[in-house]
C-alpha cells in the first residue's frame, strides 16, 4: 500500500479499463448462475464469491483504497467489519425463530410459493368463472 | 492539500505510519478534508444499508411462508419466451458502465482535462438516470401487473414486498441524489469554480458514485440472486 501524495490519486488509465472489463465479466458470471439455474450450495458459493470479487475491486481500485494510507483504510473498513458480528447473531437468532415456528407453532414446512405464471393463470380462471356466472344469470 | 504539503518529512508506511497518523497532534488523515468527510459519510451509509440487508436476512430466515421466486418475478419476455432477471442484469451493466465513466472522469480531472472530465461526468449522470428510469419501470410492473405491495403479494411471504420496496427504493434514492450531485459539480467545473482549488471534488463525487454501485453489487447478490 503506497501513500497518496499531495497531487491526489493519479494512476495510469489502463488499470481502470482492466477493472472495468473485469467487473463486466464477473457480473456476467453471476448472471449466468441464475440463467443456467445453478441451485443449492453451489449457487450460494458462486454468487458470494463473485459479489466479493466485484466489491473488492470497486473499493480497492475505483475508490482508490489500495493506494490510501493504512490510517484511512482501517477507518473505513474496520467499523463495517464489526457488522459481520451483527449479521452472525441475527442469523443464529433467525434460525432459532424459524425452527420454533415449525416445531411448536405448527407452521407448514412444505408450503410452496406461487410462480407468476400460476398466479396469472389463476386470475384468468377466476375472470373466466365470473364471466360464465354472469352469463348464467 | 496545503496542509499535507506542509509536512516536510515523508510520512512512515505500514503500521508505524498508522500509529503516527492516529496519534498525530494535528491531522490523522493525509487527504483533503472533503475526501475524509465523504469517506466518513459513506461508512455511516454502509451501516444503514447493512441494517436493511440484515433485517432482510432475519425476516427471510424467520418467515415460514415460502419466499417468492425472484428469478421468475423479475423476468422479462423476449421473443415470446421469458428471460430470467433480464432487466436486473441490464440495470447492473448500466451501473457498472457508469462506474467506469466516473473512474475515467476522476483520472482526467487530475490531469486537468476539464472538457473530458465534464463529458464523462455527464455520461455518468445520464447512465444513472437511465438506471432510475429502468427501476421505475420495474416498480410499476411489480405493482400493477404482479400486485406486489409492501404488506403482501400473491406469491408467498409478504415480507418480500416490504424488503423490495424499502431496499431498492433507498438505493434508487441514492442514485437519484447522485445524478443531481454529479450535474451540480459539472456545472461548477464548467463555471471555473475549481480551476484554482484543484479537482479533488471529482474524486470525492466519484467515491459517492462508486459506493452506490457497490451497494447494488450486494443487493443484486442477496436480493435478486439468492
How are beta strands B81-83 and B76-78 bridged, if at all?
antiparallel
CB contact under 8 A, B146 and A9: no
A126 min Cα distance to partner chain B (Å): 14
Q: What is the pLDDT of residue A1?
A: 42
Write down the pLDDT at residue B77: 80
In chain B, % of residues over pLDDT 70: 96
pLDDT for the residue B9? 67
For residue A130, is pLDDT > 90? no
Residues 6+ apart with CB under 8 A from B107: A10, A11, A13, A16
CA–CA min distance A27, chain B (Å): 8
Rounded Cα distance between B43 and A74, Å, is 11
Mean pLDDT of all residues belonging to chain B: 92
What mean pLDDT comes out for the span B14-22?
89
- Per DSSP, the three-state class of B83 is strand
Q: B203 and A64 in contact by Cβ < 8 A?
A: yes
pLDDT value, residue A3: 42
Count Cβ–Cβ pairs < 8 Å, chain A vs chain B.
202
Q: State which H helix or E strand residue B184 sits in.
A: helix B159-190
CB B211 within 8 A of CB A63: yes
Name the pTM for this structure.
0.90
pLDDT (0 to 100) of residue A4: 43
Reported as a pLDDT band with limits 50, 70 and 90, residue A2 is very low
Reported for B108-115, long-range contacts at CB under 8 A and 24+ positions apart, including other chains, are: B109/B199, B109/B201, B109/B202, B109/B203, B110/A7, B110/A8, B110/A9, B110/A10, B110/B199, B110/B202, B110/B203, B111/A10, B112/B199, B114/B189, B114/B190
Residue A134 is predicted with a pLDDT of 55
**In the numeric block, which cell numbers belong to residue B223?**
436480493
Best to test chain A binding among B5, B30, B45 (most A CBs inside 10 Å): B30
Query: Looking at beta carbons, which residues of chain A come within 8 Å of B156?
Result: 111, 113-114
Band the pLDDT of B78: cuts 50, 70, 90.
confident
Query: Over the stretch B179-202, which tens digit does the pLDDT of each residue have?
Result: 999 999 999 999 999 998 889 999
Q: Do B99 and A48 touch (CB under 8 A)?
A: no
pLDDT digits (tens, 9 = 90+) for A30-87: 999 999 989 999 999 999 999 999 999 999 999 999 999 999 999 999 999 999 999 9
Complex ipTM, two decimals?
A: 0.89
Residue A7: the pLDDT is: 56
pLDDT digits (tens, 9 = 90+) for A13-38: 999 999 999 999 999 999 999 999 89
N-terminal to C-terminal alpha carbon distance within chain B: 44
CA-CA distance, A27 to A25, in Å (whole number)?
A: 5
Amino acid at each position: 500500500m503506497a501513500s497518496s501524495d499531495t497531487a491526489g490519486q493519479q494512476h495510469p488509465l489502463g488499470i481502470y479499463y482492466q477493472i472495468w472489463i473485469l467487473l463486466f465479466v464477473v457480473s456476467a458470471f453471476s448472471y449466468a448462475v441464475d440463467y443456467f439455474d445453478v441451485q443449492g450450495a453451489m449457487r450460494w458459493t458462486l454468487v458470494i464469491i463473485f459479489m466479493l470479487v466485484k466489491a473488492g475491486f470497486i473499493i480497492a481500485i475505483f475508490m482508490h483504497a489500495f493506494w490510501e494510507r493504512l490510517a484511512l483504510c482501517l477507518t473505513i473498513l474496520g467499523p463495517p467489519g464489526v457488522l459481520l458480528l451483527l449479521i452472525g447473531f441475527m442469523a443464529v437468532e433467525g434460525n432459532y425463530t424459524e425452527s420454533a415456528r415449525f416445531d411448536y407453532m405448527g407452521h407448514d414446512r412444505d408450503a410452496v410459493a406461487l410462480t407468476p405464471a400460476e398466479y396469472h393463470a389463476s386470475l384468468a380462471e377466476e375472470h373466466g368463472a365470473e364471466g360464465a356466472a354472469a352469463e348464467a344469470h | 492539500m496545503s496542509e499535507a504539503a506542509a509536512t516536510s518529512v515523508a510520512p512512515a508506511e505500514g503500521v508505524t505510519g498508522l500509529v503516527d497518523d492516529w496519534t498525530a497532534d494535528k491531522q490523522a488523515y493525509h487527504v483533503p478534508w472533503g475526501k475524509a468527510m465523504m469517506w466518513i459519510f459513506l461508512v455511516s451509509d454502509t451501516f444503514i444499508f447493512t441494517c436493511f440487508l440484515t433485517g432482510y436476512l432475519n425476516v427471510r430466515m424467520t418467515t415460514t411462508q415460502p419466499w417468492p421466486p425472484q428469478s421468475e418475478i423479475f423476468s422479462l419476455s423476449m421473443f415470446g419466451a421469458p428471460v430470467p432477471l433480464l432487466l436486473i442484469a441490464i440495470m447492473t451493466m448500466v451501473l457498472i458502465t457508469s462506474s467506469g465513466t466516473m473512474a475515467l472522469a476522476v483520472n482526467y480531472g487530475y490531469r486537468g482535462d476539464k472538457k473530458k472530465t465534464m463529458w464523462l461526468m455527464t455520461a455518468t449522470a445520464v447512465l444513472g438516470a437511465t438506471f432510475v428510469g429502468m427501476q421505475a419501470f420495474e416498480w410499476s410492473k411489480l405493482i400493477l401487473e404482479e400486485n406486489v405491495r409492501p404488506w403482501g403479494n400473491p406469491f408467498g411471504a409478504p415480507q418480500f414486498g416490504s424488503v423490495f420496496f424499502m431496499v431498492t427504493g433507498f438505493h434508487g434514492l441514492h442514485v437519484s441524489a447522485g445524478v443531481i450531485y454529479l450535474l451540480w459539480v459539472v456545472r461548477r467545473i464548467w463555471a471555473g469554480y475549481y480551476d484554482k482549488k484543484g479537482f479533488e471534488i471529482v474524486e470525492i463525487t466519484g467515491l459517492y458514485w462508486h459506493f452506490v454501485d457497490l451497494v447494488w453489487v450486494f443487493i443484486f447478490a442477496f436480493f435478486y440472486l439468492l
